[in-house]
Amino acid sequence: MSTIIQLGIVLGIMVLVHEFGHFAVAKLCGIRVETFSIGFGKRLIGFKRGDTDYRLSLLPLGGYVKMSGDNPGEAPTDPGDFNAHPRWQRMLVALAGPFANFILAFGLMTGVSMLHNEVQEYISSPARTDYIPINTQAARTGIHSGDLIVHYDTIENPTWDQVAIRSLLNLNQTIPFSYLHDGQRVDTKLFVEAKGGADNFALDRLGLIPKMQNVPVKVDSLEPNMPAAKAGLQSGDQIATIDGLQLHSVPALLAYLQDQAGKPASLVVDRSGKTVPLQITPQLAEVGDGTKDYRLGFRPVQPPVKIERLPFGKALAASWDYNKKGSMLIVEVLKRMFTRQVSVRSLSGPIGIGQQIHQAAAMPGWMPIIGLMAYISLNLGIFNLLPIPILDGGMLLFLVVESIMRRDLNQQLKERVYQVAFVCILVFAAMVIFNDLTKLNLFTKVKP
């Protein structure tokens, strides 16, 4: 229920801003707006002011602005009709919705940069590895723990953020891959394996575990009746080495434990400046998602975070950079979908978006949820600019063609194109929702 509420709030904001863009420019151009609706279908509540019925409708996943005389093929009968206005004004109305979403994304990221931008330091740091699990694609390239990635796909000297993004863009593909080992550059290739698709992909499964900090893992608290407590580990201890290895994050420590398959391990612990050796045997235990891993049983002190409160000018620059990168990523994903380098199955519909919103809302700080809202707003704006009839971009395409021809296109042709496009959009929406449902593993208990 909380996920549904969070999804409704976030999408409601996105749609409200998008439709307000159309509404405001239409009003400025003197076009009569009959309906401003959040949601589709039956009218639930609302009020009428002037010529416009402001309403909340039954199905909240979307919204629309109904302007007088805006139906394809409908001849204008009144100066306030949409089709009675010059084409340049109609173009402005079409552009206003996506442009409003871009403004929203820009404003959200500017605000969070000014107030409380909290990110883990390693994300924007050079991509240095902490541990390379055996029998992974990364291990097959010969890269070692502590090596520095200097080329990843198309990026020279990438950060971990860039490594994650380029990985998602190249799932189940082979990419150029270079790293520094003992000062020598090694140029090779890496297969970005993702057996479960984008939803089940993680860098650690690929074998690339980031070095999240320069200091050892520090114990925050202990779980009762687990190996760490039984071995004598204490709150505040730092795990200097495990079997002689210096690891700097819990993901690296866990990956090493899985590789050892439960074998006893020798720890060297730094306790208030004193070195304490401990012997410990990992235990196969639940990790919280229904699976079991070898664990020691302690909660760590989290890696350092970077908190920024930027002045207005720098916040604008940071927001511009964030949204520019996000927009370029979305455009690249669309290109790769058309060239079949990215599967349509990687797309998320309302269910998948709701899950992402719920996860982001549960994370500490404002950055995860605000950043996701900005990214959704960018997606909505760019998607609506695609030259597909019934979308804003489709309307713009027709208006540009008619401006070049200096006459209107055949109305019957336009009606048929809109009808076909509407059916295609419905099929596409059904496919994306089906993708969401299959990812929920609703049918795992149905066996032949």
pLDDT tens digit sequence for 305-340: 777 788 899 889 989 988 998 888 888 888 877 777
Q: What pLDDT is stored for residue 438 in this prediction?
A: 64
Contact of 90 with 271, CB cutoff 8 Å = no
Does the pLDDT value for residue 121 go beyond 70?
yes
Q: What pLDDT is stored for residue 448 in this prediction?
A: 33
User: What percentage of the chain exceeds 90 in pLDDT?
Assistant: 47
Q: What pLDDT is stored for residue 171 in this prediction?
A: 87
Q: What are phi and psi of 179, to 5 degrees?
A: -150, 160
Q: What pLDDT is stored for residue 440 in this prediction?
A: 57
Q: Domains in the chain, please, with CATH?
A: 2-113+373-439 (no CATH), 123-210 (2.30.42.10), 217-300 (2.30.42.10)
Contact of 159 with 122, CB cutoff 8 Å = no
Contact of 68 with 78, CB cutoff 8 Å = yes
CB half-sphere exposure, 25, CA atoms < 13 A: 20
Mean pLDDT of 352-356: 76
Q: What are phi and psi of 185, to 5 degrees?
A: -80, 130
Residue whose token pair is 């206005």: 85
54 bridge partner residues: 36, 47
CA distance 296 to 103: 48
Q: What pLDDT is stored for residue 7 in this prediction?
A: 78
Does the pLDDT value for residue 222 go beyond 50?
yes
Mean pLDDT of 335-356: 72
Q: Which residues contact 427 (CB under 8 A, 6 or more apart)?
A: none
CA distance 311 to 342: 39
Q: How large is the C-alpha radius of gyration of the chain?
A: 27
Q: Which residue has the higher pLDDT, 419 or 299?
A: 299
User: 3-state SS of 309-340?
Assistant: CCCHHHHHHHHHHHHHHHHHHHHHHHHHHHCC
- The one-character DSSP state at 131 is E
Does the pLDDT value for residue 442 go beyond 70?
no
pLDDT per residue as tens digits for the range 2-56: 777 777 788 888 888 999 999 999 999 999 999 999 888 889 999 999 889 999 8
Residue whose token pair is 């950043």: 371
Contact of 244 with 256, CB cutoff 8 Å = no
Does the pLDDT value for residue 418 go beyond 90?
no
